[in-house]
Amino acid sequence: MAVVQSSEIQRRLGLSIKDPASLVITPLLNEKDAFSVDSIDLRLGSHFLLPQVPPQPYATLDSENPKTVPLHVHVPWGKYLVVPAHQTVLGVTLEFIKLPFDLSGQILTKSSIARTFVVIETAPWIHPSYRGCLTLEIANVSNTPLLLHPGVRIGQLILQVISPPPDPKEAVKLKGNYLGPVYPEAPKFKNLKDELGSIGITEVDLPGICANCKLPVT
Amino acid sequence: MGGTADITNDAASLYRFVESIQTFCELQRGFPAYLEGSRVFLSLIEELSRSTKKYSADFPAGLPTNSDDYRVYRQELRTLRYGWYYVHRFVKPIADADTLRLPGSLINSLVRRLRSVESFGDSKLAILHIRELNYLQVIASGVREAITQISSFVGSSSSFPPDLGLIGIPYSQAKAVFLNSLIAHEIGHFVFEKRQLKDALALKIHAILNSTFAPVKDLVQKIGDSRRIPTAIADWSEELFCDLFAVRFIGPCYSYAFIEIFDLTNYLSRDGSLDKDAAALAVEFSYSHPAYLYRIQKQVEMLKSIGWWPHIRASQSTCQKILENSESLGTSYFSFPFGSDLQKYFIDCLDQVLTEIRTAIEESLKGLDTGVAEYSRLSRTVKDYLLEGVVPSTIRDPDSGKRIVPETVTVLNSAYQLYLDDLPELIGRIEGQDSASVEHRAKWTETLENWTLKALDDLALISAKTGV
């Protein structure tokens, strides 16, 4: 897989939207400063999801149990969000991205940000033909609260060529559980029993909950 | 002394009342976030709360010893409380309408567009949630008077900003984009009030009324409620001003939203023609509002006169059918609350008033581009972006191939047209989605609105950077 150079990125940004090879990154503010030879800087958007303590004292990878609704927060331009030490928050890129059918992408924490011990992405891979703003799993792993100002450069997008390229006709259908998001997306899980059942695991244990104290009982 | 105790009790009661209002205003200093206009309003009330609390705390100390003055002195508290009763009704609805509970990007875009007009450069809008499925502009004079009165009592220098408008939107439509195009009508009321057009039009309406109804003076006098005619004409004129202002301000998306909120597409027969029996209510003028279909008819005239019509008439949407059908309605079809004998004279009168209204709109929006030219050039491209599932805040110019930024009017109208005409095409392109499914249609309408909001938000950032 070869990393795509900035001249090729620029070329693809200029293609017609109907061309499956076209790339969109919008808005590109301070465009001249946004490009490195092999990456594009991405900025922090203004919407966040703050994790809430779940109603039951654990989380599962299950659509049914238990459901936690994160708190949606909008931080206007010029204002900031405080991420306490050792806390996490879901953010989103300011830029909306459409990847070409033959490129996949990775978003990496900008090195200057990483050196404050903040990680912005733990699932950095972006599939070809993806459309949407990118949800950022921001973790402040430092010992200091961090102020996040929407609009700051926070990540780098690196594009890679898929070799051999897939059939562009396959890119005609838009797909994906997360098509076109413009806000940070909370995780979407399948039914855990169905998910495990599909690979032959039919008995799935989940802790019972005490009706009075809401603590797990075994 | 019993009087002191009473006064202290009353002052404490007012103190607590105002303090409870103040807690809502304090929200604007942290989370959630508010539009600039809402922040200005809540800050003003917060400051006024502080001044009132201080005034209340000091009030018992000023109690006059003379019993004749006691009643007058005590009356101050009562007057102040009435002022706060009036302000009270707006604070929570504005505090409720934070930026997650209204289409902030749309409202900011509309305010930015209004500010580009000379004499509206400092305009701000505070948005409040209302219970009714309706939109309204709060007449600022009432709020201004209440705030001025409170300020004068409590010795505050706060006053209601002259460029602040208060607009109510239904709480259920907080995240909608397309339907909230109706806000443009309320901006029309704001402009109407700010430019004092009621007074300016009143003289003209009076002259038109006199000349139009002169031949039937005797007939008019026989009508029991004929005294209401001038007020009704004035009210109809303001509504028509705001409709036509909205069309001139943001284009046909206003008319589509108007048709949607009043459910006018329900008046269409299966073959797309107007079911005149079903539409009977839509052709009746009330004392306060012109008939829905009359309003639509006049909007169509405006769309034609400013050049929108050729770019929308190909639409196959039910909204477009309503627009077209309204044209075919003869003037005799409309009915008025003052009986049928004067029908022709009301129509003649309104025709003349409309000439004045159109002039007033052009004067109010002097220098503001209609947006038609850009729409005609870029709407196909904007729709192509949306059909590809991409936010159209930067698009490729179909002529030059350069990346360009479309204007608010282009984005809003293109997205609305796509919603009306091409949503099935978008849904059909998405794996596992079916345009015949109500749930899927609702889901992708919401997504389309989110893309539109995101584009408008991006445009604001780009224009702030480039100063455009």
Domain ranges within chain B, ordered by starting residue: 2-174, 192-364, 372-466
Of all residues in chain B, the percent with pLDDT exceeding 90 is 76
Domains of chain A with bracketed CATH: 6-188 (2.70.40.10)
Write down the pLDDT at residue B174.
Answer: 84
pLDDT value at A214 more than 70: no
Q: Which residues in chain B are closer than 8 Å to A11, comparing Cβ atoms?
A: none
The CA distance from A6 to the nearest CA of chain B, in Å, is: 16
Name which of B381, B389, B394 is nearest A26 (Cβ-Cβ).
B394
ipTM above 0.90, yes or no: yes
Residue B409: how many other CB atoms lie within 10 Å: 22
In tens, the pLDDT along B32-71 reads: 899 999 999 999 999 999 999 999 999 888 888 887 788 8
pLDDT value at A208 more than 80: no
**Distance separating alpha carbons of residues B231 and B248, to the nearest angstrom:** 25
Residue A168 identity = P
Instruction: Select from B86, B178, B161 the least CA-distant residue to B421.
Output: B178
Residue B432: how many other CB atoms lie within 10 Å: 7
Name which of B33, B391, B447 is nearest A96 (Cβ-Cβ).
B391
Contacts of A211 (CB under 8 A, 6+ apart): none
Three-state DSSP class for A147? strand
The alpha carbon of B341 is separated from its chain's Cα centroid by a whole number of angstroms, namely 34
Residue B415 identity = A
Q: Which of A75, A182, A183, A188 to mutate to probe the B interface, most B CBs <10 Å?
A: A182
**Of all helices (H) and strands (E), which one includes residue B40?**
helix B36-58
**Distance separating alpha carbons of residues B240 and B3, to the nearest angstrom:** 55
Question: Is A79:A48 a contact under the CB 8 Å cutoff?
Answer: no
Of all residues in chain B, the percent with pLDDT exceeding 70 is 99
Three-state DSSP class for B2? helix
Whether this model's pTM surpasses 0.90 = yes
Lowest mean pLDDT among B6-10, B26-30, B286-290, B432-436: B26-30
Which stretches of chain B sit within 8 Å of chain A by CB? Answer: 31-33, 98-100, 104, 381, 384-385, 388-396, 401-403, 405, 429-432, 447, 450-451, 453-454, 458, 461-462, 465
Whole-number Cα distances in Å, A148 to A41, A116, A145, B90, B468: 16, 12, 10, 33, 27
Q: How far apart are the first and last CA of chain B?
A: 67
Contacts of B156 (CB under 8 A, 6+ apart): B47, B48, B51, B52, B150
Question: Is B73:B59 a contact under the CB 8 Å cutoff?
Answer: no
pLDDT value at B93 more than 90: yes
